[in-house]
Amino acid sequence: MSFRSRLDDLPLFASDLEIAEAVVGKRYAKEWAQTRLPTLAGKTGFPPIDPFHEGRPVPLVRRFYESYLGLGGVGAPQGAADPAAWKSAIRGKRKT
């Protein structure tokens, strides 16, 4: 699955506020950056701020969200499954 997001419009390294605006829009960006971003920053796979560039690497932020949301074939979020595959697996177990 290919998708385009506002993250695609950011520079290679972006500030937390720029990332927040791309993720939740300008209206909620400041609050999200203050309250939600610290939680994400502690999650495995969310990129830290690069001290030399003074921003987070946007391609890694995008990769994090692809994995977190199960987009782009990176992997499904925990607990999410393809219903067809789940039904198929159940049917297979019933036959044995």
Domain regions of the chain by residue span:
6-95
Determine the average pLDDT of the residues in 49-61.
97
Q: 14: which strand partners? A: 56
Q: How far is CA 68 from the centre of its chain?
A: 5
What residues have CB less than 8 Å from 79, skipping those under 6 apart?
A: none
- The count of C-alpha atoms lying within 13 angstroms of the C-alpha of 25, restricted to the half-sphere facing its C-beta, is 2
DSSP structural state of residue 10 = S
Measure the CA–CA gap between 61 and 47, rounded to whole angstroms.
6
Structure-token pair, residue 3: 């998708």
pLDDT of residue 52: 97
Q: Of 7-11, 52-56, 77-81, where does mean pLDDT reach its minimum? A: 77-81
pTM: 0.69
For 12-33, the pLDDT digits (tens) are: 999 999 999 999 999 999 999 9
pLDDT of 93 reads 53
